[in-house]
Amino acid sequence: MNFFRELSIRNSFPMCFNLLPHYAAEQEYTVLMKCVDAALEDGRIGTFFLSDRPACHQGFSTPKLAKDILASGGEPIVSLALTYNDRNTAIHKLQEYYQAGVRQFLFVSGDYPAQSDQNTEKPVFDMDSVQLLMILSGLEESENIAKGCVVSPFKTFESEQVWQYEKLKRKISVGADFIVTQLGYDMRKFDELIRFCTLYKIMAPLVANICLTDMHTARLIQARGLPGVKMEGPLLRGLHEEASSRQGAIGRTAKTLAVIKGLGYHGALIGNHSADYFEVKQVLDKTETLQLGWQKFLDQLDFSGSESPFYYFQEDPHNGRNSSKPAPVALKHFPTPTYLFSYFVDWLVYVPQGPLFSLTGRFCHFCNPRKFWYGFLWLLEYLSKRPLYGCKMCGDCTLYACGFLCYQSGCPKKMLNGPCGGSIDGYCEVFPEKKRCYWARVYHNMKGVRQHVTFTAAPIPARDTSLDRSSSWINFFLGKDHRKIKFEDD
């Protein structure tokens, strides 16, 4: 049965095997197919997760692997990332997979290529996963495919975690059908995501991403710098003591799986750095014997680290997990002068009730057809916004929705609907320990006016690239930017 449909069946708990995880080394095709056959023969796993573009070079194409899995009677779920795919390529690829029979996808923004990569291809980041989901809703194929999205409940700070959940709400609102967590090891955080979805009535099924981890796997994950995956001291110490014992890893993964199921997840994605189904089979066998007493493993699997991260809910003192009461958030502070100034100008000029809205609109309409006046206004916009926001004149201004910080100059992946999952301890995936994540800075700015930071604007669609290097002021009043206002001169 289709993995996505099975997720909705009570107590079904389907599992999917991650055949090409980002931490794995190059795999031989025949080994992968043997693994698929072994899983299908066992009968407990019939779905296989494939990355359209695995981190490690493979001597075969993912569409071929997907087709062969289908021919063997299995189901592939293909993860499509936007690192190197612009909107047209992403849609083209999706249609290619669709024609091959693939009906389940995971849409992700994608990792930023590591500096150590030999690959010289430049990343594209033409849009984010929310924008891709928005585009897909207009496609014929959309009706017949299950669209997965990713969320990380494993962030350390309020400024990272709240945005992860806000972005999740956006993904669901634009059509995501199921949710897969980022790889993580903190059981209280796994529990938190379930409670968050209950609180906000998010009905999409939840799939936990877990990995058969021993010290060797941990080293692979760290060597590859898997974005956003944090391995805390207690976990690393435990792995070190086991001295890479596979039995230790199998036992811990079985307990994790039992806890995940006990907590109420609808399914799991299991990864192993080697394509060895026999080990996964041992995990599944063990889980079956451990399932009933899952609560008692919670303490053994407490890998939350010594510094206490931000949890969305208050701790339940009875079981060390979460209560249903949201935790207090940091107090709002005084807004920065740039934020205050920008907020005031935005109200004056861009809000229809603002005193200068009509006048500015008329002036923009006057300038648009006149070369000299267009150039004058363009230069004025550039000279005022470049020093304040690092403006790149993208022609479709979103400052109003992002705490008056420019995503074009602030976020290497140009994420416009919330952060990617790659930040660690508030730092950007691309500049670890050097530059704070753009969205953490947006959060700080927004804290200047509200204590509970949420998105203030609707999801923002993919940018019209033909507006590049044009005046966003004029585009706004002409209804050419994403807000599509109809300015009427009265």
Interface residue list for ligand SF4 (CB under 6 A): 385, 389, 391-394, 397-399, 406, 408, 411-413, 415, 419-420, 422-423, 428-430, 437-439, 472
**Closest C-alpha among 12, 83, 84, 1 to residue 47:** 1
Report, in angstroms and rounded to the nearest whole number, the Rg of the chain calculated over CA atoms: 24
| Gap between the Cα atoms of 154 and 310, Å rounded | 9
| Bridge-based pairing state of the strands 146-151 and 178-181 | parallel
349 vs 428, beta carbon nearer ligand SF4: 428
| Gap between the Cα atoms of 189 and 194, Å rounded | 9
- What is the smallest separation between the CB atom of 348 and ligand SF4, expressed in angstroms? 17
- What is the smallest separation between the CB atom of 265 and ligand SF4, expressed in angstroms? 26
| Gap between the Cα atoms of 36 and 232, Å rounded | 32
**Closest C-alpha among 400, 153, 386 to residue 265:** 153
Decide if 251 contacts 287 (C-beta within 8 A).
Answer: no
Decide if 415 contacts 406 (C-beta within 8 A).
Answer: no
Residue type for 446, please?
M
284 vs 437, beta carbon nearer ligand SF4: 437
Decide if 254 contacts 286 (C-beta within 8 A).
Answer: yes
- What is the smallest separation between the CB atom of 446 and ligand SF4, expressed in angstroms? 15
**The CA-based dihedral angle spanning residues 18, 23, 25, 29, taken in that order and rounded to the nearest 10 degrees:** 20
300 vs 408, beta carbon nearer ligand SF4: 408
- What is the smallest separation between the CB atom of 268 and ligand SF4, expressed in angstroms? 26
221 vs 280, beta carbon nearer ligand SF4: 221
Angle (CA) 79-81-83 rounded to 5° is: 160
161 vs 423, beta carbon nearer ligand SF4: 423
253 vs 423, beta carbon nearer ligand SF4: 423
> How does 301-331 read in b/e, with b if 16+ C-beta sit within 10 Å?
bbbbbeeebbbbbeeeeeeebbeeeeeeeee
- What is the smallest separation between the CB atom of 420 and ligand SF4, expressed in angstroms? 4
Q: Which pair of structure tokens corresponds to residue 269?
A: 């994605």
44 vs 392, beta carbon nearer ligand SF4: 392
- What is the smallest separation between the CB atom of 429 and ligand SF4, expressed in angstroms? 4
| Gap between the Cα atoms of 31 and 12, Å rounded | 29
- What is the smallest separation between the CB atom of 410 and ligand SF4, expressed in angstroms? 7
161 vs 287, beta carbon nearer ligand SF4: 161
Place of tokens 């058969």: 212
- What is the smallest separation between the CB atom of 314 and ligand SF4, expressed in angstroms? 27
97 vs 389, beta carbon nearer ligand SF4: 389
- What is the smallest separation between the CB atom of 476 and ligand SF4, expressed in angstroms? 10
Q: What is the DSSP letter of 427?
A: B
Polymer length of the chain: 490
